[in-house]
Amino acid sequence: MEKLTAQEEEAMLSIWQLKGGFVREILDNLKGSAMPYTTLASTIRNLEKKSYVHAVKYANAKRYEPLISLEEYKERFMNSFVGDYFKNSYKEMVSFFVKEEKLSERELEEIIEMIKKQKS
């Protein structure tokens, strides 16, 4: 599955929130975005070509529905991200965020608690 551009990801986030929609609905949901209608329509057609959405025809309009869930996308993106930047090591990724002071000791403790709860 092809990686999404920032613009495509923005559109997909709106589509996931709405659980599908017409271009106008998707645009209205993109609060604060200055994306023109025609640009969004083109972006959504690209998403259809990349098999992220499919169009369901209603009279003259098309409603776009996601073919992949947000969770599936996160999983694929994170696996690719960790593989590309951290040699497939989540430990290296966490270490990086600690060194960059993006992850506090308290947050690490919370993560450890989450792991312990998952195992029990």
In the chain, where are the structural domains located?
6-66, 89-120
What tens digit of pLDDT does each residue of 86-113 get?
Answer: 999 989 999 998 899 888 889 999 999 9
What tens digit of pLDDT does each residue of 43-64 get?
Answer: 999 999 999 999 999 999 999 9
Q: Which residue has the tokens 């003259």?
A: 60
Domain 6-66 CATH assignment equals 1.10.10.10: yes
Q: What is the DSSP letter of 11?
A: H
Task: Order the strands of the 61-66 sheet from edge to edge.
Answer: 21-22, 61-66, 53-58
